[in-house]
Structure 1
Amino acid sequence: MRIQRVETYRAAVPLHTPFKTALRTVTVAETLVVKITSEDGYIGWGEAPPTHVITGDSLASIDFAVNGIFKPLMEGASLEGRERLFEKINKSIVGNTSAKAAVDMAIYDLISQQANLSLASFLGGYTNTLETDYTVSVGEPAHMAEAAVEFADRGFTTLKIKVGKGDPAADIKRLQAIRERTGNQVKLRLDANQGWLAGEAVRTIRTMEDLGLDIELVEQPVRAGDIAGLKQVTTNTETPIMADESVFSPKDARIVLEQRAADLINIKLMKGGGIHQALKIAKLADVYGVECMVGSMIETKIGITAAAHFAASQPNVTRYDFDAPLMLTGDLAAGGGIIYKDNVIHVPDEAGLGIRSIDWKYVEKCREEVKG
C-alpha cells in the first residue's frame, strides 16, 4: 500500500458552554482535519487541534508541518515500511506533536483497513467498551456543584473536576460544594493543570483527605517540568497522583517511572505525536506496573475515535477521558466512529477507525457561525 495523496481541511465547531481550566478557556474547537488516500482507494482520517498552552501548536503551525514538511515525505511512500516513514516524520521537525498525531492516526487507519481489522483489534484487541468521565470546568463552587449534579443525572458516574486556578483554599471549597450536592455516588478525579506549587499541592490534597472528600486521583498538580515537585507530592500524599503534561514522550515517561514521580500516567495522542509513540509509553508503563489513562484535548470525534481505539487495545489503560465530542454543538464525522450511550463508549468492529465520511455541509455551517 502506497500513499497517493495527503489533503487537509480546517474546521471549527462551537462548544455548548465554555470549557475552563487553570490554563485556558475554549469556546470553539478548532482543528485541522487530515485525509490520506492510498493508491488502492482506502481513506485514512486524522485531526489535530491547536493547544498553544500545552503542546505549543497553533493551527498555522500544524498546517505548515503537515503540508510543508510531512506531505512531501508521505506522498508515494509505502506503508509496508511504516517504521521508516514514522522515523522520517519524527526526525523531520522538532516538536509539532499534534501535527504528527494527525498524520499518524490517518496512517494507522489505512493499515488497519488493509488488514480488515478495527484499529483496536489491529493494535491488540483488549476490549471494545469504555466508560468516559465528564469534565466540570473551573468556576465558582455553587456553579461547579450545579454542573456536577447535571452530569451525574445524565448518567456519568465519574467526574473530572478542574481546579488549580487561584487560591488552593478555593479548590477545597469547590470540592466540598460538589461532594455536598452529589454525595458519594459519583467518583471524583481532580485536574490541577499545573496550577499548584509542590508544597501547597501537598497541603491541599492532605486537607481534602482529612475532610473525607474521597478523591480518586489528582492529575498534574505541579508545573510540567517540575519532576522533583511531582515526586514530592506523590510521596507525601495518599491520593494517587497522575502525570499528564509532564509526559509527552517515552523518554519523559521513563524519567517519571524511574523516579516513581507519579502513580499513574495520562497518555494523549496530541502530546505524544500519535499512536506510534503512545504505544511505547503504555508498554513502558506496563513494565513498571503503572496504569494509564488516555485523554484528549478539545477534539472532534475523529481524534477521539483514534484515541479510543488505542485505549481499547491496551490492558493497562484503565481510565478514559473522552468527553470532548459531547461538549460540541455537532459532529464532523457524518458516518461511523465511536458510539456514545451516556457515559459508555462502544468502539465499533468496522475496519480501521470506522469513519467513512465527513459532513462538509456542517463544516461550512460552523465556519460561518464562527465568523459571525
Structure 2
Amino acid sequence: MKIVDLEIYQASIPLHTPFKTALRTVTVAESIFVKMTADNGITGWGEAPPTHVITGESLASIHYAIDKLIRPILIGASLSSYAHILAQLEKVIVRNSSAKAAVDMAIYDCLAQEANQPLYQYLGGYRSSLENDYTVSVNAKEQMQKDAKLYKENGFRILKVKVGKDTAAKDIARVAAVREAVGEDVLIRLDANQGWTAKEAVNAITQMEAMGLNIELVEQPVAAHDLLGLKYITEHTKTPIMADEAVFSSQDARRVLEMGAADFINIKLMKAGGIYQAMKIANLAEIYGVSCMVGSMIETKLGITAAAHFAASHPAITRFDFDAPLMLADDILEGGVHYQGKGKTITFSNQSGLGIKTVKESYLQSVKREGEW
C-alpha cells in the first residue's frame, strides 16, 4: 500500500459560545485537514489546528510544513514501512507538532482500514468507551456557576474549570462558586494554563484544600519551562498536579517523570506530533506508574476521533478531555466517534480506521496551491 496523494484543506467552524482560558479566547475553530490516498483506494484523514500560544503554529505554517517539507517524503512511500515514514516525519522539520500529527493520523487511519479494524483495536483495544468531561471557561464567577450547573444537568460528572487569568483570590472565588453550584457528586479538575507562579499556586491550592473544595487535580499551574516550580507545587500540596504544556515529547516526559515534577501527564496529539510519538509518552508513563489524560486543542471531531482512538488503546490513559466538538456550532463529519448522553460518554463504531464516512465539503477550502494565503 503506497501513498499516491496528499490533499490539504482549510476548515473553519464557529463555536456556539466563546472558549476562554488564561491564554486566549476562541470564537472560531480553524484547522488544516489532510486527506491521504493510497494506491489501493484507501483514504485516510488527519487534522491540525493552529494553537499559536501553545504549539506556535499558524494555518500558514502548518500548510507550508505539510505541503513543502512533509509531502515529498510521503508520496510513493510504502505504508507497510510506516515506522520508517514516521521516523522521517520526525526528522524532516523540528517542532511543528500539529502539522506532523495531522499526517500521522492519516497514516494510522489508512493502516487500520487495511487491517479492517477500528483504530483503537488496531492500537491495542484496551477499552471501548470513554467518560468525557466538559470545560467551564474562565468568566465572572456568576457565569461560571451558571455554566457548571447546566453541564451537570446535561449529565456530566466531571468538570474541567479554567483558572489562572486573574488573581489567585478571584480564582478561588470562582472555584468555590462552581463547587456550590454542582454539589459534591461532581469531580472538579482545574486548569490554570500556566497562569500562576509556583508560590501563587501553592497558596491557592492549599487554601482550596482548607476550604474543602475537593479538587481532583490541578493542570499546568506554572509556565511550561518551569519544571522546578512544577516540582515545588507537587511537593507542597496534597492535590495531585498534572503536567500539560510542560510535556510535548517523550524527552519532556522523561524529565518530568525523573524529577517527580508532576503526578499526572496530559498527552495531546498536537503537542506530541501524532499517535506514534504519543504512544512513547504513554509507555514511559506506564513504566513510572504514572497515569495520563489525553486532551485536545479546539479541534473538530476529526482530530478528536483520532485522539479518542489512541486514548482507548492504552492502560496508562485514565482520563479523557474531548469536549471540543461539543462547543462547535456544527459537526463537520459523518462518522467518527459517537457522543452519547449529550457528550458525557464516547463510543466507537465497528467501522475500520477512524470510521470517517464523509467530511462536509461546505466547511473545506482547498489550500493545495501555493499563494492562496
TM-score (norm 2): 0.96
Contact 1:119 / 1:309 at 8 angstroms: preserved in 2? Answer: yes
Does the C-alpha gap of structure 1 residues 362 and 50 become closer, same or farther in structure 2, counting only changes over 3 Å? Answer: closer
Contact 1:133 / 1:156 at 8 angstroms: preserved in 2? Answer: yes
Contact 2:36 / 2:44 at 8 angstroms: preserved in 1? Answer: yes
Q: Specify the alignment match of 1:215 in structure 2.
A: 215
Instruction: Output the CA distance in 2 between the equivalents of 1:186 and 1:35.
Output: 40
Q: Specify the alignment match of 1:116 in structure 2.
A: 116
Q: Specify the alignment match of 1:360 in structure 2.
A: 361
Does the C-alpha gap of structure 1 residues 67 and 362 become closer, same or farther in structure 2, counting only changes over 3 Å? Answer: closer
Q: Specify the alignment match of 1:270 in structure 2.
A: 270
SS for the counterpart of 1:173 is: helix
**Which digits, 9 at most, give the CA deviation of each residue in 1:167-186, with x for residues without a partner?**
00000000111111111121
**Which digits, 9 at most, give the CA deviation of each residue in 1:169-216, with x for residues without a partner?**
000000111111111121100000000000110010000000000000
1:226-265 correspondence to structure 2 within 5 Å:
226-265=226-265
Contact 1:128 / 1:348 at 8 angstroms: preserved in 2? Answer: no
Q: Specify the alignment match of 1:59 in structure 2.
A: 59
Instruction: Output the CA distance in 2 between the equivalents of 1:226 and 1:302.
Output: 32
TM-score (norm 1): 0.97
Return the offset for 1:349: 2.2
Contact 1:192 / 1:221 at 8 angstroms: preserved in 2? Answer: yes
Return the offset for 1:361: 2.6
Contact 1:36 / 1:43 at 8 angstroms: preserved in 2? Answer: yes
Tell me whether 96-105 or 180-189 shows the greater mean CA deviation. Answer: 180-189
Instruction: Output the CA distance in 1 between the equivalents of 2:364 and 2:62.
Output: 19
Say how many residue pairs are matched.
Answer: 363
Query: Which residue type is aligned with residue 84 of structure 2?
Result: R
Contact 2:12 / 2:363 at 8 angstroms: preserved in 1? Answer: no
Tell me whether 174-183 or 247-256 shows the greater mean CA deviation. Answer: 174-183
Instruction: Output the CA distance in 1 between the equivalents of 2:279 and 2:176.
Output: 38
Aligned-CA RMSD value = 0.8
**Which digits, 9 at most, give the CA deviation of each residue in 1:278-322, with x for residues without a partner?**
000000000000000000000000000000000000011000000
Q: Specify the alignment match of 1:340 in structure 2.
A: 339
Instruction: Output the CA distance in 2 between the equivalents of 1:57 and 1:277.
Output: 18
Query: Which residue type is aligned with residue 349 of structure 1?
Result: N
Q: Specify the alignment match of 2:198 in structure 1.
A: 198
Return the offset for 1:159: 0.4
Instruction: Output the CA distance in 1 between the equivalents of 2:286 and 2:225.
Output: 23
SS for the counterpart of 1:313 is: coil
- Answer yes or no: is 1:163 the counterpart of 2:163: yes
Contact 1:98 / 1:269 at 8 angstroms: preserved in 2? Answer: yes
Q: Specify the alignment match of 1:69 in structure 2.
A: 69
Instruction: Output the CA distance in 1 between the equivalents of 2:294 and 2:362.
Output: 31
Q: Which runs of 5+ in 1 are unaligned?
A: 365-372
Instruction: Output the CA distance in 2 between the equivalents of 1:320 and 1:127.
Output: 12
Return the offset for 1:38: 0.3
SS for the counterpart of 2:312 is: helix
Instruction: Output the CA distance in 2 between the equivalents of 1:276 and 1:179.
Output: 38
Runs of 4+ in 1 over 3 A off after TM superposition: none
Instruction: Output the CA distance in 2 between the equivalents of 1:187 and 1:88.
Output: 42
Instruction: Output the CA distance in 2 between the equivalents of 1:223 and 1:257.
Output: 17
- Answer yes or no: is 1:19 the counterpart of 2:26: no
- Answer yes or no: is 1:152 the counterpart of 2:152: yes
Q: Which runs of 5+ in 2 are unaligned?
A: 366-373
**Which digits, 9 at most, give the CA deviation of each residue in 1:215-268, with x for residues without a partner?**
000000000000000000000100000000000000000000001100000000
SS for the counterpart of 2:160 is: strand
Percent of pairs with identical residues: 59
Q: Specify the alignment match of 1:369 in structure 2.
A: none
Query: Which residue type is aligned with residue 339 of structure 1?
Result: H
Contact 1:48 / 1:101 at 8 angstroms: preserved in 2? Answer: yes
Contact 2:159 / 2:188 at 8 angstroms: preserved in 1? Answer: yes
Instruction: Output the CA distance in 1 between the equivalents of 2:291 and 2:275.
Output: 17
Return the offset for 1:348: 1.9
Return the offset for 1:166: 1.1
Instruction: Output the CA distance in 2 between the equivalents of 1:221 and 1:243.
Output: 8
**Which digits, 9 at most, give the CA deviation of each residue in 1:116-154, with x for residues without a partner?**
111100100111100110000001111100000011100
Q: Specify the alignment match of 2:350 in structure 1.
A: 349
Contact 2:11 / 2:363 at 8 angstroms: preserved in 1? Answer: no
Q: Specify the alignment match of 2:369 in structure 1.
A: none
Contact 1:332 / 1:363 at 8 angstroms: preserved in 2? Answer: no
Return the offset for 1:362: 4.5
Instruction: Output the CA distance in 1 between the equivalents of 2:150 and 2:8.
Output: 37
SS for the counterpart of 1:180 is: helix
